Amino acid sequence: MSDVINCFNDRAQNLLELHLASGFRKYFIWFMAKLQGSHIALIQEGKDLVNYAMINAITIRKILKKYDKVHYSKQGQAFRLQAQSMHIEILQSPWLCELMAFRVNLRETKAITGKAPALFEGCYLTFNDGKPFLSCELFDSVKLDIDLTCSISLAGVYEGAVHLDELSILLRRSCREYWEQRLEKERVERVRQAKQHWESQCQASIGL
Q: Sketch the domain layout of the chain as residue ranges.
A: 2-205
Supply the pTM of this predicted model: 0.74
* pLDDT over 70 percentage in the chain: 75
Most confident listed range (41-45, 46-50, 110-114): 46-50
Residue 92's pLDDT band (cuts 50, 70, 90): confident
* Cβ-contact 132, 148 below 8 angstroms: yes
Average pLDDT over residues 78-88: 77
Q: Which residue has the higher pLDDT, 180 or 155?
A: 180
Is the predicted pLDDT of residue 148 greater than 70, yes or no?
A: yes
Residue 176's pLDDT band (cuts 50, 70, 90): confident
Give the Cα separation of 131 and 171 in Å (integer).
Answer: 12
Is the predicted pLDDT of residue 54 greater than 80, yes or no?
A: yes
Phi-psi region of 156 (alpha: psi -120 to 50; beta: other; left: phi over 0): left
DSSP label at 21? -
Q: Which residue has the higher pLDDT, 88 or 32?
A: 88
Average pLDDT over residues 9-22: 80
Residue 66's pLDDT band (cuts 50, 70, 90): very high
Q: What tens digit of pLDDT does each residue of 106-119 get?
A: 877 765 455 545 55
Query: If you average pLDDT over every residue of the chain, what do you get?
Result: 78
